[in-house]
């Protein structure tokens, strides 16, 4: 087994009396698609936010590419190649799709203390934005303001923004949230393509998608890892069935 790209050790995060992340350890191996599942309130988004630095853990450590990033602010982690999409769409609503992606490309193209030239006329930034948007299927919607994009398109744009930072590790927080059947299928197809190029951590409620995509699955309950392994192992794990999959048994059995 190669060295992990991301290593989380004994991570703890409390909110008042609640342990949202309870002594959690986790490895993500380069090239894999690692899914994190768990019932509502299991602490999945809290975990992602700690991985990207929006939230600081109370204790434990996170290392990325062999480097300790536990206390690094999110903008520095982004520069190391860690990108995320948000569960609740988080874009710049008054900018166009292209502006949103071009800014992500700009963030990784030297400093932005340039006050004179028109940023929207910088060809390589626009080209990068164009490429990322085409990649996620928004090639025809480039100049549309975010506020006029459909929910599904905004989810795809989230992905394009993350891609434009040229990440080594993509943390996707429920990319399928709120998508219809066709849109979900498109997203799954897209993720199948992306996983060939970039390591992905996927938090998702859609079990069908998770079992179709994941190399490994980690199951969280109340901030703790109760199981981790390949899809087959997770499917047959008694504790997982008891704690989480009970009502979804049918889906899993057919997945």
Partner 1 sequence: MKSHINLRNVVVALVAAGLVLLPLYSQLSGNIFILTLFTRIIIFALAAASLNLIMGYGGMMSFGHAAYLGIGGYAVGILAHEGIGSGFIQWPVALAVSALYALVIGALSLRTRGVYFIMITLAFAQMAYYIASGMSRYGGDDGLTIYKRSTFGGLIDLSNRVQFYYLCLACLFGGIYLIWRIINSRFGMVVQGVRSNEQRMQAIGFHANRYRLVCFVISGTICGLAGALLANNTDFVSPAGMYWTRSGELMVMVVFGGMGSLFGPVIGAIFFLVLEEVLSQFTEYWALIMGPLLLLVVLFARGGIMGLLGRFSRV
Helix H or strand E segment including 64:
strand 59-64
Asked if residues 37 and 51 have their Cβ atoms less than 8 Å apart, the reply is: no
Kindly state the smallest distance separating residue 97's Cβ from partner 1, in Å: 14
What's the closest the beta carbon of residue 125 comes to partner 1, in angstroms? 9
CB of 72 to partner 1, least distance (A): 12
Shortest Å distance, C-beta 59 to partner 1: 23
Site residues (CB under 8 A) for partner 1, limited to 75-114: 75, 78-79, 83-84, 86, 90-95, 99, 102-104, 106-108, 112-114
Report the C-alpha gap between 77 and 55 in whole angstroms.
Answer: 12
What's the closest the beta carbon of residue 99 comes to partner 1, in angstroms?
A: 7
Q: Which of 32, 15, 56 is nearest to 228 (CA)?
A: 32
Token representation of residue 54: 């929006």
Applying the rule CB under 8 A, the residues between 14 and 73 that interact with partner 1 are 52-54, 73
Nearest CB to partner 1, comparing residues 29 and 107: 107
Which of the residues 219 through 238 are near partner 1 (CB under 8 A)? none
Question: With respect to partner 1, which residue has the nearer C-beta, 34 or 84?
Answer: 84
Q: Which of 68, 71, 67 is nearest to 58 (CA)?
A: 71
CB 70, min distance to partner 1, A: 17
Residue in 116, 118, 149, 156 with CA at minimum distance from that of residue 135 = 156
Question: Based on CB atoms, which residue is closest to partner 1, 94 or 182?
Answer: 94
**Closest separation in Å from C-beta 191 to partner 1:** 19
130 part of the interface to partner 1, by CB under 8 A: no
Cβ neighbours of residue 132 closer than 8 Å, sequence gap 6 or more: 101, 104, 105, 160, 161, 163, 164
Residue span binding partner 1 (CB under 8 A) among the ranges 22-30, 38-46, 74-82, 219-227: 74-82
Question: Minimal CA–CA distance to 103: which of 91, 117, 116?
Answer: 91
- Measured from the CB atom, the residue of 138 and 225 that comes closer to partner 1 is 138
- Site for partner 1 (CB under 8 A): how many residues? 38
DSSP states along 161-187: HHHHT--SEEEEE-TTTT--HHHHHHH
Through-space distance between the first and last CA atoms of the chain, rounded to whole angstroms: 27
| Nearest Cα to Cα of residue 189 among 230, 251, 135, 234 | 135
Q: Which of residues 164-223 bind partner 1 (CB under 8 A)?
A: 164-165
Which residues in this chain contact partner 1 in the complex, by CB under 8 A?
Answer: 52-54, 73-75, 78-79, 83-84, 86, 90-95, 99, 102-104, 106-108, 112-120, 122, 161-162, 164-165
């Amino acid at each position: 087994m190669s060295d992990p790209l991301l290593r989380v050790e004994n991570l703890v995060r409390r909110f008042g009396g609640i342990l949202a992340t309870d002594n959690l350890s986790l490895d993500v191996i380069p090239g894999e698609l690692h899914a994190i599942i768990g019932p509502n309130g299991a602490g999945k988004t809290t975990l992602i936010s700690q991985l990207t630095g929006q939230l600081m853990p109370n204790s434990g450590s996170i290392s990325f590419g062999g480097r300790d990033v536990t206390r690094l602010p999110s903008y520095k982690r982004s520069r190391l190649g860690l990108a995320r999409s948000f569960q609740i769409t988080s874009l710049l609503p008054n900018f166009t799709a292209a502006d949103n992606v071009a800014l992500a490309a700009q963030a990784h193209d030297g400093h932005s203390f340039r006050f004179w030239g028109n940023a929207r006329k910088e060809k390589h930034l626009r080209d990068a934005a164009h490429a990322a948007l085409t990649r996620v299927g928004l090639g025809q919607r480039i100049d549309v303001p975010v506020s006029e994009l459909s929910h599904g398109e905004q989810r795809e744009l989230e992905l394009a923004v993350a891609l434009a930072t040229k990440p080594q590790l993509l943390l996707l927080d429920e990319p399928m949230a709120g998508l219809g059947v066709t849109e979900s299928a498109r997203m799954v197809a897209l993720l199948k393509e992306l996983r060939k190029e970039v390591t992905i951590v996927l938090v998702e409620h859609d079990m069908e998608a998770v079992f179709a995509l994941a190399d490994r699955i980690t199951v969280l309950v109340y901030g703790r890892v109760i199981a981790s392994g390949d899809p087959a192992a997770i499917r047959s794990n008694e504790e997982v069935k008891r704690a989480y999959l009970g009502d979804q048994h049918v889906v899993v059995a057919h997945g």
